[in-house]
Amino acid sequence: MAEQIVVGVDGSTSAVHAARWAALEALRRSAVLRLVHIRQMPLLLPAEDMYAEELSAKGREWLASARASAQEEAPGVRVVTELGSGQPARELVEETEHAALVVVGSRGLGGFRSLLLGSVANVLAAHAHCPVVVLRASTRGGPPPSDGPVVVGVDVGGTATEALDFAVAAAAARGVPVVLVHTWTYEGLLAAGRLPANIDWDGIAAARRRSFDEELAAVRARYAGVEVRGALVRGRPVDGILEQAENAQLVVVGTHGRHGLVPGAVGATTHAVLHHATCPVAVVGEKRKA
């Protein structure tokens, strides 16, 4: 059975970009593109109410438009559509149990209104069972970038490989380099409290560079055939990742497992990258399907 890539559709510009982006990804993977619109019905509204039918009609219209955009972007892609009802965040999290990838826009209409802090994208990033890609409407009014490297934040010596695996696979499928970003600060390396006066700051920086070079060598050996570049940045993780993201077509960040359905469950760095990156952002959690 072919894997599925699911797109949350709501008629917004960013959702149209999401459908187009996902259509190309579905072709790369020989996957089925599944376009889903979740109607968020007002409480106590009878199913036969005229307003409910208007919501359904609008949903079908948005799905048809998204389907046309997807097929225009990627002729030959296999597309199915579904009109559902419920809470968009909860319904899309359920979709992730059976999907290979879920793609949404960052700002939506209707059920996806205010798709940032404490909303659908944030909930999906924290609780999805598969990787999630979030697309913002371009700040220049056009589609998201389609060239440039794939950027991924890494923790030197860390054990989580899901985000790195996803980033390398994405780069290989696109024929572009993958850029490993590792950030560090002196404060993060030293224990809190009074510091000795004779700290070898240059030695600390050199040791960090050696560790990163060793990490790069290991990654290059593991992923032969894909160009792997490194970016060692002194500063906050979000600043280093966003700096590299300026010329990227995709940024990949990790998150540590799933949490209860509460706002703000993703880490601070992931949350900030979702807010500020102008290219698509893939959030890949530990022990999720690739």
**Mean per-residue pLDDT, 94-121:** 70
Structure tokens at 242: 């966003």
Beta strands in 64-137 (DSSP E): 78-85, 101-105, 132-135
User: Are the C-beta atoms of 120 and 8 separated by less than 8 Å?
Assistant: yes
Q: Which residue has the tokens 């102008």?
A: 278
Written as one letter, the residue type at 141 is: G
Report whether pLDDT(111) > 50.
Answer: no
For the chain, the average pLDDT equals 83
Q: What was the pLDDT predicted at 2?
A: 77
Average pLDDT on 64-89 reads 95
Determine the Cα–Cα distance for residues 194 and 78; give it in Å rounded to an integer: 62
Question: In CATH, which superfamily holds the domain spanning 145-290?
Answer: HUPs (3.40.50.620)
Looking at mean pLDDT, say which of 31-40, 114-123, 133-142, 158-167 comes out highest.
31-40
The pTM is what?
A: 0.86
Q: What CATH number labels 4-141?
A: 3.40.50.620
The C-alpha R_g of the chain, in whole angstroms, comes to: 21
Q: What is the pLDDT of residue 138?
A: 58
Output phi, psi for 113, to 5 deg: -60, 140
Say whether 41 sits in a helix, a strand or coil. Answer: coil
- pLDDT tens for 219-278 read 999 999 899 999 999 888 899 999 999 999 999 998 764 443 333 446 788 888 988 888
Query: What pLDDT, on a 0 to 100 scale, did the predictor assign at position 281?
Result: 94
> Of 190 and 115, which is predicted with more confidence?
190
- Write the DSSP string, 225-284: TS-EEEEEEES-HHHHHHHHHTT-SEEEEEE-S---S-TT-S-HHHHHHHHH-SS-EEEE
Q: Give the residue-averaged pLDDT of 41-51.
A: 63
- The identity of residue 33, as a single letter, is L
Distance CA 99, CA 3 (A): 7
Please give the pLDDT value at position 21. 96
27 in Cβ contact with 74 (< 8 Å): yes
Domains 4-141 and 145-290 are alike in CATH topology: yes
Instruction: Report whether pLDDT(95) > 70.
Output: yes
pLDDT tens across 54-63, in order? Answer: 888 999 999 9
Q: Residue 195: in which H helix or E strand, if any?
A: none
Helix (H, G, I), strand (E, B) or coil at 101: strand
Domain range annotation of the chain: 4-141, 145-290
Give the Cα separation of 132 and 228 in Å (integer): 23
Q: Is pLDDT of 151 > 50?
A: yes
Residue 124 has pLDDT above 80, yes or no: yes
